[in-house]
């Protein structure tokens, strides 16, 4: 939490963060994403009515904000702060040797905006004027943004992300994301795997110029320097060493790991649709999802359970029966006897004879 405590606040943030600090709002947002809650209203209701949940996030019950106030608190977290915190988590994962960046995988995920899918006839634009229509394999998916992400193939953990309007060309999105990723002081990569959407000679040359072998699926209509590795899998081998040709089929199977990483965003975290509009908010939504994945992986390593690194459902369910406050409220005179039989200290306190005997 030192990252959020040390952040300098501007004049607006000082007015907003009075009862709740940035650290508190960050904890609430992590818990919201981890529990897969989609709306602010449902989250505030759970904080008020689920016994002991407010203790788990370490927030005073008196400071629970209204849904509208909570949205304002989240808005002022800033996407730049969230991305800086994400990069700090990536650096910590590197120190624990969970990320090595030797093989990196790129893909895009559609994030739907909270707006109408029809254009305004007068303005000729969507209600979210920064979003764009998204089509995949000729099918219309909606209006929103593209989560352009890189993951490390070692444990399938995210290492970089960006947000772009969904109507932009995948080639441009890929090249911009790759260029900005290479500008960071990450360990050098040896191989990049991607789907056919960003395939072009410019993309291949850009990746190869950084000393990285580009394994980007080629399109069907391209014949020059392209070989078929498996069913519906073609690769341009002009920039691939000859000794790797026999291993291409096995290497290309690694790309499916990013599909599994994206599936948890929709199935577990329910983060395939935004609660608001604008590209700034899309960057926050994507960044908060990525930080939850890294925090889950770091928690798994620190509790000596590396097998739980890519298990999105772990550390999620809060059990109020283990809360001391919940136990005190729910225990009746009948079952308190059975409870005290297991706890000698409470048994001594409730029995005058034993208390006098012990003293």
pTM: 0.83
Residue 232 lies in a domain: yes
Among 49-58, 146-155, 198-207, 211-220, the range scoring the smallest mean pLDDT is 49-58
Token code pair at residue 51: 């016994």
- State whether 44 and 129 are in the same domain: no
Domain tally for the chain?
A: 3
Give the pLDDT of residue 344. 44
pLDDT tens across 31-69, in order? Answer: 888 888 888 888 888 888 877 787 778 888 888 888 888
The band of 7, judged by pLDDT with boundaries at 50, 70 and 90, is confident
The band of 190, judged by pLDDT with boundaries at 50, 70 and 90, is very high
Of 59, 159, 58, nearest to 106 by C-alpha is 159
Choosing from 75, 105, 129, the residue where a domain stops is 75
Centre a 10 Å sphere on the Cβ of residue 15 and count the other Cβ atoms it contains: 10
pLDDT tens across 72-111, in order? Answer: 888 888 899 999 999 999 999 999 999 999 999 999 999 9
Q: Using CA atoms of 240, 244, 249, 251 in order, give the dihedral in degrees to the nearest 10.
A: -90
- State whether 182 and 291 are in the same domain: yes
- State whether 218 and 253 are in the same domain: yes
Contact 173, 150 (CB under 8 A): no
- State whether 332 and 219 are in the same domain: no
Average pLDDT over residues 144-160: 93
pLDDT over threshold 60, residue 282: yes
Give the pLDDT of residue 352. 52
Give the pLDDT of residue 182. 94
Residue 288, CA distances (Å) to 27, 32, 225 in order:
11, 10, 41
- State whether 101 and 115 are in the same domain: yes
Residue 13 lies in a domain: yes
- DSSP letters, 124-151, are TB-SSTT-EEEEETTEEEEEEEEEEEEE
The band of 151, judged by pLDDT with boundaries at 50, 70 and 90, is very high
pLDDT over threshold 90, residue 294: yes
Q: Using CA atoms of 32, 34, 38, 43 in order, give the dihedral in degrees to the nearest 10.
A: -30
> Angle 352-357-359 (CA atoms, 0-180°, nearest 5)?
95
pLDDT over threshold 50, residue 331: no
Average pLDDT over residues 331-335: 41
- State whether 229 and 101 are in the same domain: yes
- State whether 41 and 175 are in the same domain: no
Average pLDDT over residues 161-186: 94
Look up the domain containing 66 and give its range: 2-75
Residue 142 lies in a domain: yes
- State whether 185 and 60 are in the same domain: no
Contact 52, 34 (CB under 8 A): no
Residue 137 lies in a domain: yes
pLDDT tens across 230-245, in order? Answer: 777 888 888 888 888 8
Choosing from 55, 75, 95, the residue where a domain stops is 75
């Amino acid at each position: 939490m030192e990252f959020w405590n040390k952040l300098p606040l501007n004049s607006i943030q000082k007015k907003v963060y009075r009862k709740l600090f940035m650290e508190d709002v960050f904890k609430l947002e992590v818990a919201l994403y981890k529990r897969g809650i989609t709306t602010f209203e449902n989250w505030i209701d759970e904080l008020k009515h689920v016994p002991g949940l407010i203790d788990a996030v370490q927030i005073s019950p008196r400071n629970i904000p209204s849904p509208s106030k909570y949205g304002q608190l989240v808005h002022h977290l800033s996407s730049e702060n969230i991305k800086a915190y994400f990069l700090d988590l990536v650096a910590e994962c590197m120190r624990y040797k969970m990320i090595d960046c030797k093989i990196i995988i790129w893909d895009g995920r559609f994030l739907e905006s909270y707006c109408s899918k029809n254009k305004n006839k007068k303005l000729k634009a969507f209600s979210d004027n920064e979003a764009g229509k998204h089509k995949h394999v000729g099918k219309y998916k909606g209006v929103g943004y593209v989560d352009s992400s890189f993951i490390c193939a070692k444990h399938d953990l995210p290492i970089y992300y960006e947000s772009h309007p969904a109507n932009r060309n995948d080639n441009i999105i890929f090249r911009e994301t790759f260029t900005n990723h290479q500008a960071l002081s990450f360990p050098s990569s040896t191989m990049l795997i991607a789907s056919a959407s960003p395939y072009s000679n410019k993309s291949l040359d850009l990746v190869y110029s950084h000393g990285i072998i580009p394994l980007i699926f080629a399109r069907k209509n391209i014949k020059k320097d392209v070989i078929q590795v498996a069913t519906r899998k073609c690769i341009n081998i002009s920039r691939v060493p000859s000794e790797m040709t026999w291993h291409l089929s096995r290497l290309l199977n690694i790309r499916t790991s990013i599909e599994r990483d994206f599936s948890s965003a929709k199935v577990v975290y329910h983060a395939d649709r935004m609660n608001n509009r604008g590209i700034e908010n899309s960057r926050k939504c994507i960044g908060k999802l990525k930080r939850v994945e890294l925090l889950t992986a770091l928690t798994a390593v620190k509790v000596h359970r590396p097998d739980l690194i890519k298990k999105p459902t772990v550390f999620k369910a809060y059990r109020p029966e283990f809360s001391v406050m919940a136990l005190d409220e729910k225990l009746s005179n009948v079952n308190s006897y059975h409870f005290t039989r297991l706890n000698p200290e409470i048994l001594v306190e409730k029995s005058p004879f034993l208390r006098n005997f012990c003293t």
